[in-house]
Amino acid sequence: MDWILSGTTSPTPSMAARANRTDAADSATISAAVRRYSDAHEQLELLTPRPPLPALPPTHGNRFVDAAESVAAWARAQMLDHGFDVVDRHQDALLAGVEATFAVDVAVTTLPRGLDGCAWQTPSMRLLIAARTTLWARQRFSVGHELGHLLFRDAQDLIAEPVESRAKDLTEKRANSFAAALLMPADFLKEEAASGLSEAGFVTLVNRLFVSPTSLGWRLFNLGLISDKQRVAWSSMTAEQSAMRVDGAELILTERRLADSERLPQRLAEDHLRAYRTGATSARPLAQLFGIEPGDVIEPSGSSEQQPACPPCGFPTTPFSATSPPSGSSASCVTFSMGGDDGPRPSRGRQPSLLGGSRPWPTSPLMDG
């Protein structure tokens, strides 16, 4: 069908040989998850070419650790130029920064057990999928790891990694080193440890960077900022225990919610919403992306003339459904009812939304599950 419409054959995600899952069902599940987003991208390209992707960093034949440090420094500088950082930023801000800076379509969804994330890239698309989990530090590192694959151009074949496969070859080691360097910047850590680092200071850094004590311990040790004895002693706690050391109940609840929330790629979602709103596409492509039935897409109703625009997508801020959003909440651009894992589909009389239940579409890229 793609060849008939466009004269070209769309790339098909295929497992990299070194990353094949032993469970064939898992491989099929992973490929299906990727196709959900890659199909959405292809459907938009049939309407109009998407903007060109920003250039990837230059890579050199250095040792993998040096190459990872160099590209991570470049990546952080790019993110800072776009108004994003990794320090003191929750997971939703990190994912938004990756999308805005590198034009990576970032999704968080349920993946097969034991799989932290996957990445795939073509000349016109970069896709990063992270698994839903309550282990926010693990998910954050996985996002950095998969971004490393994309920036180093490793993901020409679909890379889908079981947890136990990490660090078995050069590209995996390099992706791990990149994630550590990006998420725990050397210049920031050296400045914070300039006068020495206590255990309390270590805990503060864990919470400011939203990483695991084990990862931070190794990073500080490799930078020569703490001793191996300190690394071993301070790495024995978990990220949650580090948060509790400073009465971080709010941090725990926020990060667990963010890491375990379904998230659609923001650009894909906005572009498909816009295409549907303007009549460029039917409800089917939009429903496929959002994982719902086409019949559950609520048709736009009423006039959108002279209504203020929603910042993320430019649609009227008044919901298309007849029911107004709850008082004090931001308005929705277009509304859906969600079924599946989110529970029973609400009736049309309730204010269904893209997020499921009765909540409105937010102005952030987070999609609550």
Rounded to an integer, what distance in angstroms lies between the CA atom of residue 246 and that of residue 173?
A: 33
pLDDT in tens, 54-63: 999 987 767 8
CA distance 251 to 159: 31
Determine contact, residues 282/240, Cβ cutoff 8 Å. Answer: no
Q: What average pLDDT does range 107-131 have in this prediction?
A: 92
Confirm if 296 and 334 have CB atoms less than 8 A apart. no
**184-203 in b/e burial notation, b at 16+ Cβ within 10 A?**
bbbebbeebbeeebeeeebb
- State which amino acid sits at residue 338: M
**Given this model, what pLDDT does residue 42 score?**
92
Tell me the three state secondary structure of residue 34.
Answer: helix
Its pTM surpasses 0.85: no
- Supply 101's token pair: 């800076």
- Give the model's pLDDT for residue 347: 32
Find residue 105's DSSP bridge partners: 127
pLDDT for position 300: 59
**Average pLDDT rounded to a whole number, residues 181-202:** 97
**pLDDT over threshold 80, residue 219:** yes
The residue ranking higher by pLDDT, 296 or 233, is 233
Instruction: Tell me the percentage of the chain whose pLDDT exceeds 70.
Output: 71
**Residue 163, helix vs strand vs coil:** helix
Band the pLDDT of 145: cuts 50, 70, 90: very high
- Higher-pLDDT residue of 123, 341: 123
The pLDDT of residue 24 is 42
Most confident of 128-137, 287-296, 314-323, 332-341: 128-137
- Report, as an integer, the average pLDDT of 94-106: 97
The torsion region of residue 76 among left (phi > 0), alpha (psi -120 to 50) and beta comes to alpha
Is the model's pLDDT at 362 over the cut of 80?
no
83: left (phi over 0), alpha (psi -120 to 50) or beta: left
Residue 18: strand, helix, or coil: helix
pLDDT of the residue at 162: 55
Helices (H), the chain: 2-6, 24-47, 64-81, 91-102, 136-151, 170-183, 186-192, 199-209, 213-222, 228-234, 239-245, 249-259, 266-277, 283-290
Provide the pLDDT for residue 36: 92
Q: How far apart are CA 186 and CA 61, in angstroms?
A: 22
- Please report the pLDDT score of residue 63 as a whole number: 87
How many CA atoms lie within 13 Å of 98's alpha carbon, on the beta-carbon side? Answer: 32
Residue type, 106: V
Task: Find the range with the poorest average confidence among 27-36, 238-247, 335-344.
Answer: 335-344
**Which of 12-16, 167-171, 250-254 has the weakest average pLDDT?**
12-16
What are the tens digits of pLDDT across the range 4-56?
Answer: 333 444 455 443 322 334 444 477 788 888 999 999 999 999 988 788 999 99
The per-residue pLDDT for 59 is 79
Site of tokens 């007849």 = 322
On the question of pLDDT at 80 being above 50, the answer is yes
Average pLDDT, the chain: 78
Burial 154-181 (b: 16+ CB within 10 A, else e): bbebbbbbbeebbeeeebbebbbbbbbb
In the prediction, which pLDDT does 155 show?
81
Residue 306 predicted with pLDDT over 50: no
201/341 Cα distance (integer angstroms): 41
Write down the pLDDT at residue 217: 98
